[in-house]
Amino acid sequence: MATRFVSDLHLDVSRPDVTACFIRFLQQITGTTNALYILGDLFEVWSGDEDPTPDHRAVAAALRAFTADGTPCYLTHGNRDFLIGQRYAHESGIQLLHERTVIELGGERILLMHGDELCTDDVSYQRFRSVVRSPIVHRLFFMLPLSARRAIADRLRQSSVEAMKPDAITDVNATAVTTAMRTADVRILVHGHTHRPAIHRIKVDGEPALRIVLGDWYTQGSLLNWTDSGPELTTLPI
């Protein structure tokens, strides 16, 4: 049995092949998984739990079927789908996690994050993030009709595509990483967001540590399997 981690699927009606791949993946790992952790950006964009978009409903049904036998599935909000709420969580059978969550696996404490808050060199994004994550902005957003929310979300998504930035800015900041791990008292961090899958051997306060980065699901599925043998990054054909 394995504990599995995915991130940055960016499921969207424009890419039905990826949605189909994720649903197949859920079916294939049913009964062989201790828990599934989705570390943000399950969806490309999120306008509200009541949005009747077909792929949202299809994924909810697949997740509900996956968790029906008691296998837990956890979701950390990403920068694209941070507005997923309890209504959708209940519909899909998933459990929402805090931005930073520590779990124990194989006797190790592991910090789970989406990862965008670690990209502190991207000052303009961090400013934007602090605004859109505020409770006041959330309340104002959900006062709008769904059509207006969709238009705003689509515009923000387009703006992020147009804002091409150097890799050095959009990657995580080493100091932010060590600070997060030190604060959580862990020596293993698992995150997504940067779309640069790798297992990095680093040091935190002079002690060996691991930073494991999950990949995206654009050209292939990216998966972290954690078994008794330890962590292994692998890919899935879309």
* 116: helix, strand or coil: helix
Q: Enumerate the β-bridge partners of residue 198.
A: 213
What domains appear along the chain, each with residue ranges and CATH number?
2-236 (3.60.21.10)
pLDDT for residue 165: 73
pLDDT for residue 90: 97
pLDDT, mean of each 10-residue run, the chain (238 residues): 97 95 97 97 95 94 96 97 96 96 95 97 93 92 92 81 67 97 98 96 96 96 95 94
Query: Measured between alpha carbons, how far is residue 2 from residues 5, 192, 226 in Å?
Result: 10, 19, 5
Exposed, middle or buried by CB within 10 Å (0-12, 13-18, 19+), for 162?
Answer: exposed
Length of the chain: 238
pLDDT for residue 228: 92
Closest by CA position to 7, among listed 114, 100, 119, 105: 114
DSSP state at residue 173: P
CB atoms within 10 A of CB 31: 10
Closest by CA position to 60, among listed 113, 23, 16, 13: 23
Q: What is the pTM of this model?
A: 0.95
pLDDT for residue 157: 77
